[in-house]
Every structure is written in structure tokens, then in C-alpha cells.
Amino acid sequence: MIDALPRTEVGAPPPHDDAQLAWLTDSIARNRFLPQPDPSNIFVGDGDFRAIGAEFLGHFVRLGGLRSSHRVLDIGCGIGRMAVPLTQYLDGEHGRYDGVDPVEGGIRWCKSAVAPHYPNFSFQHLDIAHDLYNPKGAIKGRALKLPFADGQFDFIIMTSVVTHLPADEVMAYLREIVRVLRVGGRLFMSAFIVDDIAAKNATGRRDPRLGFARAGQGPCWFVPGQPPLAAVGFDDGFLDTAFDRTGLSVVLKSLGHWRAPGGSHYQDILVGERLRSHA
């Protein structure tokens, strides 16, 4: 019998108080007073804004090892789905958050609705070109330079980012991430990893919206009938190798339930740790 939801975990994040974290994420999901954009302005993703953000806060802590004192960089912060729950977790004195995104409208909302109330939160628009989200952007993804000094972040978030990037741009992002991540810091990435089970859909229970087909010789997989960067999957092993080539060690790899019902998260999750200096 084929295992419909294979799961591989390497290493473990530092311990946390799970009961306290569960209380916090539940309270965030129910707190109608937290900043929340009008649903018509959410230009990326679907589902309940607060609930999804609270869910990911739990993943950041439980799977990624995020701590309240960390300095966090959120690449592709969008309209604050991850930032809003982090306002309730990061320590106001020691923790800090920086969010960057190519879509100016999302950054504008975050600057007006979040930053004025949380002075340790900052947002920047980066005019990175993207075929779907910012086609007239001035900065090519392969030439990305993050506007931060070397080694200043403890924890970097990339949720639903590489799911919209070509392979060469993934490598460019990872090189910059390793540059701004301190030794011992971690990258939390969500992705679609197309292993044999996901590719063949042997159980017949994969999310029908993600009927990936290989693009040429790989490593990318696109969904036929959709723009190529609407949803991007990668050959199993591509991201692991990319982490290693750029100076990150994979400390956790957990496959999500987009391939079949069950499990605690939808997309696949990779956590990488910068263990060494890397030229």
C-alpha cells in the first residue's frame, strides 16, 4: 500500500510551551480587533486571513524554531497575513520584523494598518519584476539584492513564494538569504515538492487544482491551462540541493496535504539552517 502522505523530518526545533502557543494562536484567530484588510484587497492567497496567519505562526514556532526575541525577515509579505499574528508573538523590545514585497498595494496597507501600532514592524516595497504580480518591475529576480546588511536576521520566512518562482530565481533568492541570515539562523520555506507519489497521483486524492506537468527537462512543474508562474512545483531533491549549494543545511522537511488529505499543513515545508560561512 502506498503511503499517501509521506513525511520526513530531520532534526528538531528548540522546545516550546505547546499549550501556551495553542492558546495564543487560537486567540489570534478569533481576535476581530487585529488589523485585517478588506477581503477584496487580498491579492494573494485565499481562505480566512486571521486563521491562516495564526496557523502559520504555530508552524513557525513548532517546526521552524522561531523565538519571540528573533529578528524576522518576511520575503513576499504580501498584505500582512503573516505579519499580523507575529505582532502578538514577537517581543516589543527585542524582537523585530521586516517585510518586503513587489506589490506596492500590500505594502501600503501594511504601512498604514500595522506599522503605526507596532514600531518594531517595518515594510518595504521592492520593485522586483514578476510576470503575474509585478510585470513592469525594475529589478529582475535573478539580480535580487535585499536591502539589508549581512548576517542580521535570525529567522527568514518564504511562504508561498517559491511556488511562484522559476528555478534560477530560487537560487538568486537563496544566495541573498544566506547573506543576510546569521550563522545559526533559519529559513522557513513552503513549496510544492513533486515526488513520485505527487506526480503519479496514485491515490487519486491530490488537490485537483494542482495537476502538475513537468516543464521540459525540469526541475519545474507547472499546471496546464494556467500561467506558468501561477503555481510552480519542483522535483523532489531540487530544493534540498539548492539549500546545500548556497550554504543551508536542511533541518526539517515535512510534506503537506496538497497531495492527499491529512497532515497538519497544506504546502510542503522546508526549514534550513545556516551552519557555516559561505562564499
- State residue 164's pLDDT score: 96
Greater confidence (76 vs 16) lies with 76
78-118 pLDDT, tens digit per residue, is 999 999 999 999 999 999 999 999 999 999 999 999 999 99
- State residue 11's pLDDT score: 41
Give yes or no for residue 251 having a pLDDT over 90. yes
Confidence of residue 42 (pLDDT cuts 50, 70, 90): low
Report the DSSP pairing between strands 248-254 and 268-274.
Answer: antiparallel
Range 1-10 average pLDDT = 32
- State residue 66's pLDDT score: 97
Among all chains, which residue has been given the C-alpha cell 485585517? 36
Range 122-142 average pLDDT = 93
- State residue 39's pLDDT score: 77
| Residue 81 and residue 52 in contact, taking contact as beta carbons nearer than 8 Å | yes
Give yes or no for residue 7 having a pLDDT over 60. no
Of 11-25, 116-130, 190-204, the range with the lowest mean pLDDT is: 11-25
What percent of the chain stands above pLDDT 70? 90
- State residue 46's pLDDT score: 64
- State residue 45's pLDDT score: 55
Round the average pLDDT of the chain to a whole number and report it: 89
Give yes or no for residue 220 having a pLDDT over 50. yes
156-171 pLDDT, tens digit per residue, is 999 999 999 999 999 9
- State residue 48's pLDDT score: 87
Cα gap 168→118, rounded to integer Å: 36
